[in-house]
Amino acid sequence: MNKKLHWATIPGISVVVLGILISLSPLGRKIAANGNDLYLKLKVLNDIIGIVNDYYVDVPDWDEVMEGAYSGLMEKLDPHSFYIEKKDISGINEEFSGKFEGIGIEFDVLDGYITVISPVAGSPAEKVGLEVGDKIVKIDGESAYKIKREDVSKKLRGPKGTAVEVTIRRKGVGDFNVTIIRDEIPLYSVSAAFMADDSTAYVFVNRFSGTTSDEVRKALQRLKSEGMKWLVLDLRNNSGGLMDQAIEVADLFIEGRKMIVYTRGRIRGSNEEFYSGRIDGYEDLPLVVLLNRGSASASEIVAGAIQDHDRGLIVGETSFGKGLVQRQYPLRDGSAIRMTVARYYTPSGRLIQRPYDGTLEEYYEDLYTENRDSLLAREDSLQARPQYQTAAGRIVHGGGGIAPDYYIKYERELSRDTYKLMRHPSRILFEYTTQTAEEYKRFKTKKDRFFSKFEISDKDFEKFLEMARVKEISVDYEKIRKDADYIKMMLKAELAREFWGYDEYYKVIRVHDNQVEAAVQYLNEARNMLVRAAR
């Protein structure tokens, strides 16, 4: 309902009252002490409200107008401070606990469009192949241009089993439609934990929520009983979460009383230091941490502490560079703001936060630069970034994000037709493996043989393509055949999920993941680091 602010027709009274309140408040005293001209700005704002209220062509919807003003104010502070409407509070809070039903993406509204920052591991969005940087330009045929952040969840979330069609815009590819079947989005943190071989363990942590450290600890206990002697900790596309959980996870691997992270801000309580102290951790376990540009915030706290203490090696790509600490403040109408109050620093003193001098769009577009790590490794770039030393004297650079000790680019070159087939709304891979699982059921009791010997045959691959033809999926099947090895792997992974679950699903995929393969190769060097540190 449209509401008219009658008080705004006499702006002088409101400004006087507002001025008195500000001058008497702690905020007002700070403004006066700092010599800021905020009082004038508030009078200008009041003038604008009064003029709009009295002379705008229509009666303003002040709920909508003021919420836009609140959002704009927060967005001007930094990329990670924002206003939360009352109706969205429960949705925001459940990101770190409980469950919800929807498609499962981390997103932001950039350049007017919903932009995928990261698909949630195991979610419907990941299964249909949504990628970092994809823009959702339509939802169920309706334009999503300039959609409000708070309206995104309203459009994309919905009961399990219902469908939503989104139109995706991807760089270098024409717009295409994807139908996504909503599902319960699991908010567990450990997507997969398995033994890659007799001694090498792999743990994939997708977020840092209220149960993360407990989940990781339980996973490590199980893997230790299965023979774990080395560990690859995969934090790729982990967009962060709760700082205390990141500290507890890092504490699992760092011995003694050593700094994990510290924060600096200007309010009381924002300058804090956090140290390790567990006595039942895994400080002697050779460790490699995998990062990519989707690894942010809490992920960077863990990786930064591991790297600065020479506790393990970082492999992959330079991380996102989100080093701002937010606190949520409730407002009197039931809404809230989540605002930056401090910055994260690694033990060596590196600021994790990437510079954000430009627009919000520029801030994220920089992240998607194809040769980002090569640009960061240039001599002129390194000279411009502050230099720090790890505990053992290795040189590391500040300036935002955690740079890997060994840069390994993720390699996966597939044809557009293969992508189209993989993301088809019929969920052709899932349907094929569901229909043929009975034929392969003999492997259900022979897991080891399944992983070591079983492969999708050429004959079965042709059956899969025939199913696609029957469904009249319009793709170039000759181009599809060029990606046969990848599709066979995905079919095998779907079978593994059908038989045993997501640990086994990811085990099939990660065996063919070049960054994971590289991480395993560096485990011996990680062990040598531990040996040198013990001398």
Nearest partner of 303 among 238, 385, 386, 209, judged by Cα: 238
Q: Is 524 helix (H, G, I), strand (E, B) or coil?
A: helix
308 is catalytic: yes
Q: CATH number of the domain at 99-185, please?
A: 2.30.42.10
- Set 308, 405, 417, 483: catalytic member: 308
pLDDT at 455: 92
Q: What are the boundaries of each domain within the chain? A: 6-86, 99-185, 190-323+342-410, 416-512
Question: Which residues in the chain show pLDDT less than 50?
Answer: 1-24, 29, 32-33, 35, 98
Nearest partner of 209 among 245, 239, 185, 235, judged by Cα: 245
CA distances in angstroms from 126 to 103, 182, 191, 258, 454, listed in the order given: 9, 12, 13, 37, 25
pLDDT at 56: 93
pLDDT at 65: 92
- Set 155, 322, 492, 507: catalytic member: 322
- pTM for the model: 0.77
CA 300, CA 396: separation in Å to the nearest integer? 14
pLDDT tens digits, 71-90: 999 989 998 999 998 887 77
Q: Which residues, at least 6 apart from 266, have a Cβ–Cβ distance to it below 8 Å?
A: none
Chain Cα centroid distance, residue 236: 8
322 is catalytic: yes
CA 517, CA 217: separation in Å to the nearest integer? 24
Q: How many other CB atoms sit within 10 Å of the CB of residue 395?
A: 9
Q: Is 166 helix (H, G, I), strand (E, B) or coil?
A: strand
Nearest partner of 136 among 177, 86, 174, judged by Cα: 177
CA distances in angstroms from 340 to 158, 322, 336, 371, listed in the order given: 31, 11, 13, 30
User: DSSP alpha helices (H): ranges in 210-359?
Assistant: 212-225, 243-251, 298-308
Pairing of strands 230-234, 113-119: unpaired
CA 179, CA 20: separation in Å to the nearest integer? 56
Whether 261 and 305 have beta carbons less than 8 Å apart is answered as yes
CA distances in angstroms from 286 to 115, 193, 229, 535, listed in the order given: 37, 16, 7, 16
CA 509, CA 204: separation in Å to the nearest integer? 12
Place of tokens 């891979």: 429
Nearest partner of 319 among 397, 251, 208, judged by Cα: 397
- Set 297, 299, 319, 348: catalytic member: 297
Place of tokens 């045993």: 500
CA 289, CA 283: separation in Å to the nearest integer? 14
Q: Is 266 helix (H, G, I), strand (E, B) or coil?
A: coil
CATH fold for domain 190-323+342-410: 2-enoyl-CoA Hydratase; Chain A, domain 1 (3.90.226)
297 is catalytic: yes
Phi-psi region of 261 (alpha: psi -120 to 50; beta: other; left: phi over 0): beta
